[in-house]
Structure 1
């Protein structure tokens, strides 16, 4: 496996993802997720909805970084929550700042100065292309991020055993691979035909979470 791929998948890469729980904090506080089984259900649901959409847009941006304007518009249309749009663009900006140092290039430069910031999946695809990754590899990283970020947050939010949490991530490996494969296939078509799998509760929870005065995570 390429070193670049490992760097992108590493949670220590300074892309700002550590500050986000992927909606898990709201789910924990509202007692929709209480234990490891609840976390498993949350991660599976997130992977096959927001995770699939994100991976498809990441693969498409990796294959065609010059179409970031079109991809941005299409992903914006699939993100009804203003709070989720803001969180996605903040992560996209952080990712582009890091990539400008690690893998500089014309597409990364443009992504870093994009109006309002690129959505994180689009930015990830652009950065993955600059790093020399294939669309399939980029989709895999995106699918992995869809579950690894919330899983990491669960250790703090629920006090779960980190060994059990990483065992859960390993258990979900085959599903991540399947989602990445689906995303790569759909990314070969027009941007308008990319997945639009919805997760309304994540949208509602994001708006709820954004109204809190005290919280551990930005989203």
Structure 2
């Protein structure tokens, strides 16, 4: 599998990592009336790319390079916890990380997946997968940023019954921002959080019978 094909595969929403059951806060944003149409969805996605996407991608790059340890309970895990104030967001990150590792075991069996523990953060798992797949570290960052955007965009399309063509056009429109954010993430680990997204994550787990896990 070529590096480009690996990148495309990791960015595919059909990848069986469990990411499709997570909305990245968009379900709670829709329920709260913060996202109601294409324009407000765009504002949400920009915010999510520039905060959650940037932080997660920068951590993934650091793990990819070996600057942060991928082992359970060590630097990659601890640094991700420190940048994820919401317990609900941490739980969602670990659930998605577990799904990515499950897939990684099947594709790159020579990697020491056991060292990551049973529930690594998504950023840590993404860093190890990028390295195992021989991606350039900036491509690891891009796969993280891109899926941070598309996961929420697809969920919003379902929740608001938006035209799929409109949502696809929006993701194309934000592609330059994804590239820019990935490049920034590759420079250094980012110290950033978003109080709004943290609040939405916490509210979501308290809601009765949500459609998405987060």
Indicate the TM-score class for this superposition, using the shorter chain for normalisation.
over 0.9
TM-score (norm. length: structure 1): 0.92
Is the CA contact 1:66–1:107 (under 8 Å) kept in the aligned structure 2? no
Is the CA contact 1:104–1:130 (under 8 Å) kept in the aligned structure 2? no
Is the CA contact 1:20–1:217 (under 8 Å) kept in the aligned structure 2? yes
1:5-44 alignment, distance < 5 Å: 5-44=7-46
User: 2:210 is paired with a residue of what secondary structure?
Assistant: coil
The reply to whether residue 98 of structure 1 matches residue 103 of structure 2 is yes
For 2:205 and 2:122, how far apart are their aligned partners in 1? 18
Counterpart for residue 182 of structure 1:
184
Is the CA contact 2:62–2:68 (under 8 Å) kept in the aligned structure 1? no
Number of residue-to-residue matches in the alignment? 209
For 2:18 and 2:162, how far apart are their aligned partners in 1? 23
Counterpart for residue 133 of structure 2:
131
Give runs of ≥4 in structure 1 deviating > 4 Å: none
Q: Deviations over 1:10-63 (max 9, x none)?
A: 111111100000000000000000000000000001111111001101111111
The reply to whether residue 215 of structure 1 matches residue 175 of structure 2 is no
Equivalent residue in structure 1 for 2:79, among 74, 79, 82: 74
User: 1:185 is paired with a residue of what secondary structure?
Assistant: coil
The reply to whether residue 107 of structure 1 matches residue 102 of structure 2 is no
For structure 1, the residue ranges without an aligned partner over 5 or more in a row are 187-193
For 1:156 and 1:118, how far apart are their aligned partners in 2? 28
Is the CA contact 1:108–1:127 (under 8 Å) kept in the aligned structure 2? no
User: 1:22 is paired with a residue of what secondary structure?
Assistant: coil
Counterpart for residue 90 of structure 2:
85
For structure 2, the residue ranges without an aligned partner over 5 or more in a row are none
TM-score (norm. length: structure 2): 0.94
For 1:80 and 1:43, how far apart are their aligned partners in 2? 20
What is the root-mean-square deviation of aligned Cα atoms in Å? 1.3
Is the CA contact 1:88–1:119 (under 8 Å) kept in the aligned structure 2? yes
